Amino acid sequence: MAYPIGTRLPSPPIITIASRLSVGGAFARIGAGVAATGASPWSVTANSILAFPFVLETQTICYKGVWVNGGTVGSNYEVGIWDNAASPNKIITTGSVAAAGSANVPQAAAFTSTVTLPPGQYYAGIAHNATTTAHISRWSLATTGAAFWQSFGCWLQAGITLGSLAATATPADMTNVAFPLFGIITRTVFDA
Protein backbone atom coordinates (compact mmCIF):
# COMPACT_ATOMS: atom_id res chain seq x y z
CA MET A 1 0.00 0.00 0.00
CA ALA A 2 1.36 3.40 -0.96
CA TYR A 3 1.00 6.37 1.38
CA PRO A 4 1.11 10.03 0.29
CA ILE A 5 4.23 11.94 1.34
CA GLY A 6 3.78 13.35 4.82
CA THR A 7 1.28 10.70 5.91
CA ARG A 8 1.79 9.36 9.42
CA LEU A 9 2.38 5.65 9.02
CA PRO A 10 0.64 3.04 11.16
CA SER A 11 2.83 1.16 13.61
CA PRO A 12 4.26 -2.17 12.41
CA PRO A 13 3.01 -5.42 13.99
CA ILE A 14 6.14 -5.63 16.10
CA ILE A 15 8.40 -2.83 17.30
CA THR A 16 12.03 -3.76 17.98
CA ILE A 17 15.24 -1.79 18.21
CA ALA A 18 15.79 -2.60 14.51
CA SER A 19 12.41 -1.23 13.32
CA ARG A 20 11.91 2.05 11.46
CA LEU A 21 10.36 3.49 14.64
CA SER A 22 13.61 3.04 16.56
CA VAL A 23 17.27 2.68 15.61
CA GLY A 24 16.46 0.63 12.47
CA GLY A 25 18.22 2.63 9.76
CA ALA A 26 21.42 2.80 11.77
CA PHE A 27 21.71 -0.99 11.73
CA ALA A 28 21.96 -0.99 7.94
CA ARG A 29 24.62 1.74 7.97
CA ILE A 30 26.94 -0.23 10.25
CA GLY A 31 26.23 -3.65 8.78
CA ALA A 32 24.52 -5.13 11.83
CA GLY A 33 21.48 -6.48 10.05
CA VAL A 34 21.35 -9.95 11.59
CA ALA A 35 20.85 -10.80 15.23
CA ALA A 36 23.12 -13.41 16.80
CA THR A 37 21.65 -16.54 18.33
CA GLY A 38 21.78 -17.09 22.06
CA ALA A 39 25.35 -18.29 22.34
CA SER A 40 26.33 -15.77 25.03
CA PRO A 41 24.94 -14.89 28.43
CA TRP A 42 22.73 -11.94 29.29
CA SER A 43 25.17 -9.11 28.66
CA VAL A 44 24.77 -7.16 31.91
CA THR A 45 24.23 -8.10 35.53
CA ALA A 46 21.14 -10.01 36.53
CA ASN A 47 18.10 -7.96 37.52
CA SER A 48 18.82 -5.17 35.06
CA ILE A 49 16.65 -3.42 32.47
CA LEU A 50 17.99 -2.73 28.97
CA ALA A 51 15.82 -0.20 27.10
CA PHE A 52 15.63 1.39 23.65
CA PRO A 53 13.71 4.47 22.44
CA PHE A 54 10.94 4.31 19.85
CA VAL A 55 8.57 6.84 18.32
CA LEU A 56 4.90 6.29 17.51
CA GLU A 57 3.53 8.33 14.61
CA THR A 58 -0.08 7.31 15.26
CA GLN A 59 -2.13 6.08 18.21
CA THR A 60 -1.09 2.47 18.83
CA ILE A 61 -2.47 -0.35 20.95
CA CYS A 62 0.20 -2.48 22.60
CA TYR A 63 -0.80 -6.04 23.47
CA LYS A 64 2.30 -8.09 24.30
CA GLY A 65 5.99 -8.09 24.90
CA VAL A 66 8.11 -10.57 22.94
CA TRP A 67 11.70 -11.80 23.16
CA VAL A 68 13.75 -14.47 21.41
CA ASN A 69 14.86 -17.27 23.70
CA GLY A 70 18.53 -18.13 23.53
CA GLY A 71 20.27 -21.49 23.23
CA THR A 72 19.30 -22.34 26.81
CA VAL A 73 15.71 -21.62 27.85
CA GLY A 74 15.24 -20.65 31.47
CA SER A 75 14.94 -17.95 34.11
CA ASN A 76 12.45 -15.07 34.03
CA TYR A 77 11.93 -12.01 31.84
CA GLU A 78 9.83 -8.87 32.02
CA VAL A 79 9.09 -6.55 29.09
CA GLY A 80 7.78 -3.03 29.70
CA ILE A 81 7.06 0.38 28.22
CA TRP A 82 8.18 3.69 29.76
CA ASP A 83 7.39 7.29 28.83
CA ASN A 84 9.97 9.83 27.63
CA ALA A 85 10.47 11.75 30.88
CA ALA A 86 13.98 12.55 32.13
CA SER A 87 13.34 9.81 34.69
CA PRO A 88 11.05 7.56 32.61
CA ASN A 89 7.74 6.52 34.18
CA LYS A 90 6.59 2.94 33.82
CA ILE A 91 3.43 2.69 31.70
CA ILE A 92 2.93 -1.08 31.62
CA THR A 93 4.81 -4.38 31.86
CA THR A 94 4.20 -8.08 31.35
CA GLY A 95 5.14 -8.85 34.93
CA SER A 96 7.75 -11.53 35.57
CA VAL A 97 7.35 -14.38 33.06
CA ALA A 98 9.20 -17.70 33.08
CA ALA A 99 10.96 -18.43 29.80
CA ALA A 100 9.55 -21.53 28.13
CA GLY A 101 9.40 -23.23 24.76
CA SER A 102 12.20 -23.96 22.33
CA ALA A 103 15.67 -22.49 22.04
CA ASN A 104 16.24 -19.60 19.62
CA VAL A 105 12.53 -18.95 18.98
CA PRO A 106 10.26 -16.06 20.04
CA GLN A 107 8.20 -16.14 23.22
CA ALA A 108 5.40 -13.65 23.86
CA ALA A 109 3.71 -12.53 27.08
CA ALA A 110 0.62 -10.34 27.41
CA PHE A 111 0.90 -7.01 29.16
CA THR A 112 -0.97 -6.83 32.44
CA SER A 113 -3.64 -4.91 30.47
CA THR A 114 -3.91 -3.60 26.93
CA VAL A 115 -2.56 -0.07 26.63
CA THR A 116 -3.28 2.52 23.92
CA LEU A 117 -0.43 4.97 23.45
CA PRO A 118 -0.82 8.35 21.72
CA PRO A 119 1.82 9.51 19.20
CA GLY A 120 5.08 10.33 20.92
CA GLN A 121 8.40 8.91 22.11
CA TYR A 122 8.62 5.96 24.49
CA TYR A 123 11.09 3.37 25.72
CA ALA A 124 10.73 -0.40 25.49
CA GLY A 125 12.74 -2.36 28.01
CA ILE A 126 13.44 -5.93 29.01
CA ALA A 127 14.72 -7.27 32.31
CA HIS A 128 16.18 -10.66 33.16
CA ASN A 129 16.91 -12.29 36.51
CA ALA A 130 19.99 -14.40 35.72
CA THR A 131 23.28 -14.22 33.86
CA THR A 132 23.81 -17.87 33.03
CA THR A 133 24.83 -18.86 29.52
CA ALA A 134 22.76 -18.44 26.39
CA HIS A 135 19.45 -17.14 27.69
CA ILE A 136 18.53 -14.69 24.94
CA SER A 137 19.36 -13.92 21.34
CA ARG A 138 20.85 -10.49 20.80
CA TRP A 139 22.27 -7.85 18.51
CA SER A 140 26.03 -7.75 19.03
CA LEU A 141 28.32 -4.95 17.86
CA ALA A 142 31.75 -5.89 19.07
CA THR A 143 33.57 -2.76 17.86
CA THR A 144 30.98 -0.02 18.36
CA GLY A 145 28.51 -1.56 20.79
CA ALA A 146 28.35 0.54 23.95
CA ALA A 147 28.91 3.85 22.16
CA PHE A 148 26.38 2.93 19.46
CA TRP A 149 23.64 2.06 21.97
CA GLN A 150 24.33 5.17 24.05
CA SER A 151 24.29 7.46 21.00
CA PHE A 152 20.75 6.37 20.13
CA GLY A 153 19.34 6.83 23.62
CA CYS A 154 19.43 3.26 24.88
CA TRP A 155 19.84 2.91 28.63
CA LEU A 156 20.45 0.46 31.44
CA GLN A 157 19.08 0.24 34.97
CA ALA A 158 20.57 -2.25 37.39
CA GLY A 159 19.25 -3.44 40.73
CA ILE A 160 15.60 -3.96 39.80
CA THR A 161 13.14 -6.60 41.00
CA LEU A 162 11.27 -8.53 38.32
CA GLY A 163 7.52 -8.43 38.74
CA SER A 164 7.60 -5.18 40.69
CA LEU A 165 9.60 -2.70 38.64
CA ALA A 166 9.72 0.78 40.18
CA ALA A 167 7.20 3.35 38.92
CA THR A 168 10.10 5.58 37.82
CA ALA A 169 13.24 4.27 36.10
CA THR A 170 16.75 5.48 36.86
CA PRO A 171 18.58 5.22 33.51
CA ALA A 172 22.35 4.80 33.34
CA ASP A 173 24.79 4.57 30.44
CA MET A 174 24.99 1.29 28.55
CA THR A 175 28.37 -0.39 28.94
CA ASN A 176 27.75 -3.60 27.02
CA VAL A 177 28.25 -4.35 23.32
CA ALA A 178 25.22 -6.63 23.00
CA PHE A 179 21.53 -5.75 23.09
CA PRO A 180 18.73 -8.31 23.56
CA LEU A 181 16.38 -9.14 20.70
CA PHE A 182 12.90 -8.23 22.00
CA GLY A 183 9.99 -5.96 21.20
CA ILE A 184 6.36 -4.88 21.51
CA ILE A 185 3.48 -6.59 19.63
CA THR A 186 0.86 -4.16 18.33
CA ARG A 187 -1.62 -6.53 16.66
CA THR A 188 -4.03 -9.06 18.16
CA VAL A 189 -3.61 -11.47 15.26
CA PHE A 190 0.21 -11.41 15.25
CA ASP A 191 1.80 -13.65 17.83
CA ALA A 192 5.16 -15.20 18.47
CA 121 – CA 85 distance, rounded (Å): 9
- Residue-wise pLDDT for 139-178, tens only, equals 766 666 777 778 888 899 999 999 888 899 999 998 877 7
- Residue-wise pLDDT for 88-105, tens only, equals 999 999 999 998 888 888
Listed in order, strand segments (DSSP E) in the chain are 14-16, 48-56, 60-68, 76-82, 90-93, 97-98, 106-117, 120-128, 138-140, 155-158, 178-180, 182-185
Q: Are 91 and 80 in contact (CB under 8 A)?
A: yes
17 Cβ neighbours under 8 A, 6+ residues apart: 23, 24, 52, 124, 139, 154, 179, 183
The pLDDT value given to residue 179: 79
Domains and CATH numbers, the chain: 14-185 (2.60.120)
Residue 108 vs residue 31, higher pLDDT: 108
* Alpha-carbon dihedral sign for residues 187, 57, 168, 141: positive
Q: Are 181 and 68 in contact (CB under 8 A)?
A: yes
- Residue-wise pLDDT for 14-73, tens only, equals 898 888 888 776 655 555 545 666 555 566 778 889 899 999 999 999 999 998 887 777
Question: Whole-model pTM?
Answer: 0.87
Backbone angles phi, psi at 49, to 5 degrees: -100, 135
